[in-house]
Amino acid sequence: MSGRSSLLVSSLGLLVGAAVLGAPAFSTAAFTASTSNAASTVSAAADWTPPTVAIADPGSPVKGTVALSATASDGESLIATVVIQYQLPDAAAWTTVCTDTTAPYSCAWSTAGLADGNYDVRAIATDAAGYSTASAPARTLVANNVLVVLAAPADVVRATVPLSASIVNGGTAAYSMRIEYAPAGTTTWKTLCTISASPYTCSWVTTGYANDFVDLRAVATSGGTSHTSAVVADILVDNLAPVATMVDPGSPLSGFVTLAATATDAHSGVAQVVIQSAPTGSTTWTSRCTVTAAPYSCRIDSAALADGGYSFRAIVTDAAGNSTTSATIANRIVDNTVSSVSVVDPGAYLQGTVSVSANASSTAGITSVTIQRSPSGAGTWTDICVDSASPYACSWTTTGVADGTYDLRAVLVDGAGRTTTSAIVAARQVDNTPLRGYDVQAVNGGTTLGRLESGDTLTLTYNDAVSLGTITSGWTGSALAVTLRLQDGNLLGLGNAGDTIDVLRSGSAVALGSVAVRNDVIKSSRTVSFASTMTASTAVVNGRTVTVVSIRLGASSGGGLRTTSLTGAMIWTPSSSVTDAFGNRASTAPTTELGTLDRDF
């Protein structure tokens, strides 16, 4: 996990966790220490922060020899070197133009030997303490010859889309322009539109095309000479609206209630679901919540609504912008003039001592709230606790019951002696199995924060030592070649933010379960595989020796990676095939990434 570390300093010494896990090449922080047994002293390094660096925009288009320059500074020490580099967009490697040791940091970039097209340039500054920072890249168009440029539309398009092309270094010749399309990955080009003179723009009415991926290009012609642009690949046409269904919330409604909808989309994926309400007979709808990932539901306090009749609906929008409004669920009554009680969901998986609580209200006052449990579906209720004052909560020691699924409910007794029973929170899994996941972390070992790439590391930590041979046959923990597979959430029915990682060995699944990245890091319906190396080590967590599995990413195959600027917490669902030394199987309870939210990889 980039930027996250744990540091423990005591009179007995200094432990730096990053030294165990492997420090990334581009770090946001560092710490060094010196000790003396005689004086028992600890001192900090003079420089513990990396430098700052920025590349100057060279303008666009450019040709011939171009001046590239950068600025760099460091608050604690001097700048040792600034390296200026270029690459084709999304290429795997950068090419160095020059290395400069004194300001102003600049050099001449000869573009004459390069193919015309878009390029990224960047600078890497290294300070005297050895810490490095890569600048954000700047994009420029290299055009040493006649160059046709087709402006890329959005990754996903619908309805009517404006297209435009241009000619660089065209001179005084008169050109006509033809914009063409072909099914993605083919060379079956067909004319989309023809423009006789500049400006070369046209409108693409996508409703006449199949909902699928297409490639685009532009062809400029003057006399008998033609020039063709680079292909703008994998544009998804999606004019098919999503499917939306509002789930009936029931009636009457009181206290805290769940509003839910179901949504699916065949192509670009569901982008958001807006759940709305309106008083019966009114056409004025009010949005109650906007949900961007399944399950599409939210909890609202119905007391915020005036008592009376209401209708409910859901509006689903896909990534292309197509929207569908569900059928209306009408004539549902909100009534908060009587008692209401609901159990707060303690989570799908319960272990040890957990807090259970209920929300309760009554216009007649509350005498007591009893929280109860029953084996799922049995209907044989046992009191967990009785509380007479808010907050209505207590601790449930789950080790006192057998592992399995349990239903929870709450029973309210109001001031008049009437009882109200909550809806059941069903099938909560009590799981006190000793072996389970403890943490999932990612370390940015590449050059781009928020993007999976070679050098990054995924670390899975159990809460106990495991039998490594149950993760994959014959494994002892030494370096093992595996494949880390990243799949877009839409392939798995999880939506755009449901991108998921698993690990394969020789095409078969390694028993590490799966990791939900909880961010949109790959284009819709894509899969990217990384040739990776898996190792196992041990660490001490809460006084217990545990197994730590690390997967270091190598070269990738398959396209469509995205760079995300959003923070999030990954969720690891382990495999029950893994056992400890005594043969006890691991729990499949999801494990959420520990620490503060940050940008993974």
Domain with CATH 2.60.40.10 in the chain: 52-128, 147-237, 243-324, 340-430
Considering the domain 243-324 in this protein, what is its CATH number? Answer: 2.60.40.10
User: Domain 52-128's class?
Assistant: mainly beta
Within a 10 A sphere around the Cβ of 432, how many other Cβ atoms? 15
Nearest residue to 123 (alpha-carbon basis) of 96, 83, 164, 67: 83
Contact 277, 311 (CB under 8 A): yes
Would you state the pLDDT for residue 205?
A: 97
Q: Bridge partners of 8?
A: 15
| Average pLDDT of span 475-490 | 96
Would you state the pLDDT for residue 533?
A: 98
Contact 368, 413 (CB under 8 A): yes
Would you state the pLDDT for residue 229?
A: 95
Would you state the pLDDT for residue 12?
A: 29
| Average pLDDT of span 510-537 | 95
Whether the predicted pLDDT of 24 surpasses 80: no
| Average pLDDT of span 304-332 | 96
Whether the predicted pLDDT of 19 surpasses 60: no
Contact 35, 143 (CB under 8 A): no
Q: Is 218 exposed, middle or buried (0-12, 13-18, 19+ CB in 10 A)?
A: buried
* pLDDT-based confidence at residue 4 (cuts at 50, 70, 90): very low
* pLDDT-based confidence at residue 45 (cuts at 50, 70, 90): low
Report the predicted TM-score, pTM, of the whole model to 2 decimal places: 0.51
Q: How far is CA 425 from CA 338, 422, 430, in A?
A: 21, 9, 13
Whether the predicted pLDDT of 23 surpasses 90: no
Rounded to an integer, what distance in angstroms lies between the CA atom of residue 177 and that of residue 220?
4
pLDDT tens digits for 545-586?
A: 899 999 999 999 988 999 988 888 999 999 999 998 778 899
- On the question of a cis peptide bond just before residue 279, with omega within 30 degrees of 0, the verdict is no
Would you state the pLDDT for residue 584?
A: 85
Would you state the pLDDT for residue 352?
A: 86
| Superfamily of domain 147-237, CATH level 4 | Immunoglobulins (2.60.40.10)
**Buried/exposed 96-113: b ≥16 CB within 10 Å, e otherwise:** ebeebeeeebebebebee
Whether the predicted pLDDT of 503 surpasses 70: yes
Would you state the pLDDT for residue 544?
A: 80
Contact 508, 483 (CB under 8 A): no
Would you state the pLDDT for residue 598?
A: 79
Using only C-alpha atoms, what is the Rg of the chain? 30
Structurally, at CATH architecture level, domain 340-430 sits in Sandwich (2.60)
pLDDT tens digits for 174-202?
A: 999 999 999 999 999 999 999 999 999 99
Would you state the pLDDT for residue 364?
A: 79
What is the pLDDT of the chain when averaged over all its residues?
90
pLDDT tens digits for 251-290?
A: 989 889 999 999 999 999 999 999 999 999 999 999 999 9
pLDDT tens digits for 397-420?
A: 999 999 889 999 999 998 878 899
Sheet of 65-73, strand order: 52-55, 65-73, 105-110
Tokens of 174: 């008169």
Rounded to an integer, what distance in angstroms lies between the CA atom of residue 306 and that of residue 301?
11
* pLDDT-based confidence at residue 207 (cuts at 50, 70, 90): very high
Q: How far is CA 135 from CA 1, 72, 84, 599, in A?
A: 20, 9, 10, 17
Rounded to an integer, what distance in angstroms lies between the CA atom of residue 125 and that of residue 106?
12
Would you state the pLDDT for residue 72?
A: 96
Contact 58, 97 (CB under 8 A): no
* pLDDT-based confidence at residue 17 (cuts at 50, 70, 90): very low
DSSP letter for each residue of 333-364: EE--SS-EEEEEP--SEE-SEEEEEEEEE-TT
* pLDDT-based confidence at residue 505 (cuts at 50, 70, 90): very high
Would you state the pLDDT for residue 42?
A: 54
Would you state the pLDDT for residue 35?
A: 44
* pLDDT-based confidence at residue 41 (cuts at 50, 70, 90): low
